[in-house]
């Protein structure tokens, strides 16, 4: 089966400014978390914006083709809603816009609302639906299209802990049997969506810095994404002589401190290499 998400030399601009540049990767799992990526990456993957360069694909086809063929549907974070509409109508129109006949769309919408446990708000006007219900309706609208792959943008962001855990459980249950990619700034390793995921991809400044099983990525508490000013190759060489494992190029590097080095040692290495350490981010911090 083709990767649920893959990119090759991807560039995505927003207002003429690159947000993603030269990004290449492919996933191996069917339930994937993409963490700490810019919103532009979700928008390109979902077919909302067109890449400036390179390619992004799901199941081997472009986002536009995936949506057209009902292979993929997306749920953006807090899109504008027709507040005068009822929730059931909103979900049904999502299916109809995907090409589902009216009668079938109503049936799919009712099923999707049941799967997200939204029966109590089905006949409410959207203006009266609380935030967590609106987030769940976004997922229901994507499920109702009948697509086999869903791209969800940070559905838990900003919700109180109890509401976030409840919605996470509903999302996992409602998407069983579907391929999913959830894009988020970060998540808790104890969240149902992290427990359910079979792969996590972590980005830093638009570049992949970690990829693997969520528990493995979360355990990288001695690995850091760093940004340097100066001779990065010299820094890397000196850090490796001190026992670190280093990868990267230019200004962006990933450093594993190994068993004995400390963060302060990286400052010493940077000084010795004639470089300035501008930024340092623990990779495990993608998981709260």
The CA distance from 255 to 209, in Å, is 10
Long-range contacts made by residues 78-82, C-beta under 8 angstroms, separation at least 24? 78/134, 78/135, 79/138, 81/126, 81/134, 82/126
Q: Give the pLDDT confidence score for residue 280 in this predicted structure.
A: 84
221 pLDDT higher than 80: no
Q: Are 113 and 140 in contact (CB under 8 A)?
A: yes
Q: How many CB atoms lie within 10 A of CB 218?
A: 22
Q: Cβ(32)–Cβ(86) under 8 Å?
A: no
pLDDT band at 240 (very low <50, low <70, confident <90, very high): very high
Q: Taking 70 as the threshold, does the pLDDT of residue 51 lie above it?
A: yes
**Closest C-alpha to 181, from 32, 72, 71, 67:** 32
Residue 46 tokens read as: 């979902």
Q: How many helices (H) and strands (E) does the chain have?
A: 10, 13
pLDDT at 135: 97
* Averaged pLDDT for residues 237-247: 91
Q: Considering Cα of 116, then 117, then 121, then 122, what sign does the dihedral take? A: positive
The pTM of the whole model exceeds 0.85? yes
| Residue 253, beta-bridge partner list | 226, 248
Phi, psi of 144 (to 5 degrees): -65, -15
Q: Which residue has the higher pLDDT, 252 or 213?
A: 213
Integer Cα distance of 127 and 111 in angstroms: 22
Summary mean pLDDT of the chain: 93
pLDDT band at 113 (very low <50, low <70, confident <90, very high): very high
**C-alpha angle 230/232/238, rounded to 5°?**
115
For residues 27 and 57, give the distance between their C-alpha atoms in angstroms, rounded to a whole number.
11
Looking at residue 288, its pLDDT comes to 65
251: confidence class by pLDDT, cuts 50, 70, 90: confident
Of all residues in the chain, what percent carry a pLDDT higher than 90?
A: 76
Q: By the 8 A CB rule, do 208 and 202 touch? A: yes
Q: What whole-number distance in Å separates Cα of residue 283 and Cα of residue 37?
A: 13
- Model pLDDT for residues 117-132, shown as the tens digit of each residue: 999 999 999 999 999 9
> Which of 6-20, 88-102, 254-268 is least confident?
254-268
- Residue pair 115/80 in contact by the 8 Å Cβ criterion: no
The residue-averaged pLDDT of 140-164 equals: 97
Q: Which residue has the tokens 């090759």?
A: 8
Residue 282 has pLDDT above 90, yes or no: no
Alpha helices in 123-199 (DSSP H): 131-143, 161-174, 192-196
- Grouping H, G, I as helix, E, B as strand and the rest as coil, residue 50 is coil
pLDDT reading at 205 higher than 80 = no
User: Is residue 229 predicted with pLDDT exceeding 70?
Assistant: yes
Query: Could you give all domains of the chain from N- to C-terminal order, each with its CATH number?
Result: 6-218 (3.40.50.300), 223-286 (3.30.70)
């Amino acid at each position: 089966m083709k990767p649920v998400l893959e990119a090759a030399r991807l560039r995505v601009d927003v207002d003429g400014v690159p947000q993603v540049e030269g990004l290449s990767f492919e996933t191996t799992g069917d339930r994937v978390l993409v963490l700490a990526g810019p919103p532009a990456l979700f928008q390109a993957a979902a077919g909302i914006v067109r890449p400036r360069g390179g390619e992004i694909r799901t199941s081997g086809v472009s986002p536009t083709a995936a949506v057209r063929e009902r292979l993929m549907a997306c749920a953006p974070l807090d899109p504008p809603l027709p507040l005068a509409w009822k929730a059931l109508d909103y979900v049904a129109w999502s299916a109809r816009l995907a090409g589902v006949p009216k009668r079938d769309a109503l049936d799919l919408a009712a099923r999707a609302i049941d799967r997200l446990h939204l029966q109590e708000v089905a006949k409410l006007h959207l203006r009266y639906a609380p935030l967590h219900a609106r987030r769940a309706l976004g997922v229901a609208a994507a499920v109702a299209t009948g697509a086999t792959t869903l791209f969800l943008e940070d559905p838990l962001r900003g919700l109180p802990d109890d509401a976030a855990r409840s919605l996470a459980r509903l999302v996992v249950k409602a998407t069983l049997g579907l391929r999913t990619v959830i894009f988020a700034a970060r998540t808790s390793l104890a969240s149902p969506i992290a427990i359910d995921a079979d792969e996590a991809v972590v980005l830093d400044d638009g570049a992949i810095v970690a990829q693997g099983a969520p528990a493995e990525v979360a355990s990288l508490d001695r690995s850091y994404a760093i940004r340097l000013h100066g001779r990065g190759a010299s820094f890397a060489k000196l850090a490796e002589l001190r026992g670190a494992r280093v990868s990267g190029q230019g200004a962006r590097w990933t450093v594993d401190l190994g068993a004995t080095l400390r963060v302060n040692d990286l400052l010493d290495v940077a000084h010795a290499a004639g470089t300035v350490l501008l930024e340092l981010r623990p990779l495990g911090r993608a998981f709260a």
